[in-house]
Structure 1
Amino acid sequence: WVEGKQHGHGKYTFAIGDMYEGEYVEGKRQGPGRYTCADGNVYEGEFQRNLYHGRGKMTFASGNSYDGEWADDTKNGIGTYTWDDGDVYEGEWKKGKLHGRGKITEANGNSYDGEHANG
């Protein structure tokens, strides 16, 4: 703690059951860390001002996962989304939606490689 705020490496457990372990700067999650939600979702990667920001991977309780770039808690940039059924999207994201160039490969071998607009 520095001046009453978390600073440096630490582990914080929330009353709702969520847990964060990683770096703090002036009381905010900043830099590398791991956030485990009570619902079973787990994010491991970079934080900025308490938000998922930079490179990170979210593994959802459903078995789906996203590994890629984040901006302000939202999938944004280049990333790979894998569904629990084996389908995979690799490509661009904008504000949490498939947007731009990308490829979807279905578990059965079918694929689409091209442009996507707003999800």
Structure 2
Amino acid sequence: MSESGTVKVSYIFPNGDKYEGECCHTSDGVAMRKGFGTQTSSSGTTYTGEWNDDKMNGSGTLSHPSGAVYKGQFRDNMYHGSGTYHFPDGTKYSGTFSNNRLEGEGEFTDPEGLVWTGNFHGKAAPGLKLKLNM
């Protein structure tokens, strides 16, 4: 058997990071984050959501001290899948992410509250269209 059942833990890492949530033990006794949990880094970044293979995998929310917040899908500690990223200045992007980058169909709300739609590719978004509120 490679893994035993999931247990709840509260753990403080040597660097000051703190994890509270579910984990499992591998056959060689190593504890790995798996299930639902919250990790708060010593710098103030907080992730609450699903874990698998000791990484952020699944749905979750990552809040940064700057005020930036990402809520959506994660794969191997990266924004991956559908999600919404709120920037500290009040702007936001809702759409598809691939390995921490904006990728595919999405909507960007600018500082004036105008919504722009189109295809995003990293920092480029050629041909954005203004979405009219009627």
Q: Tell me the residue number matched to 1:95.
A: 99
Amino acid of the residue matched to residue 56 of structure 1?
G
Shift of 1:110: 2.8
1:80 lines up with 2:84 in the alignment: yes
Structure 1 gap ranges (5+): none
| Cα distance per residue 1:68-109 (max 9 Å; x no partner) | 000000000000000111101000000110000000001212
Aligned length: 115
| Cα distance per residue 1:39-93 (max 9 Å; x no partner) | 0000000001110000000000111000000000000000000011110100000
Q: Tell me the residue number matched to 2:21.
A: 22
Amino acid of the residue matched to residue 102 of structure 1?
G
Q: Which residue of 39, 62, 65 maps to 2:66? A: 62
Q: CA RMSD in A?
A: 1.5
Amino acid of the residue matched to residue 23 of structure 1?
E
Q: Tell me the residue number matched to 2:8.
A: 9
- Partner of 2:112, secondary structure, is coil
TM-score w.r.t. structure 2 length? 0.82
User: Hey, which bits of structure 1, 4+ residues long, moved more than 6 A?
Assistant: none
Structure 2 gap ranges (5+): 26-30, 124-134
- For the 8 Å contact 1:46–1:55, the answer to whether it is kept is yes
C-alpha distance in 1, partners of 2:90/2:66?
A: 13
| Greater C-alpha radius of gyration | 2
Q: Tell me the residue number matched to 1:109.
A: 113
Amino acid of the residue matched to residue 9 of structure 2?
G
C-alpha distance in 2, partners of 1:118/1:108?
A: 22
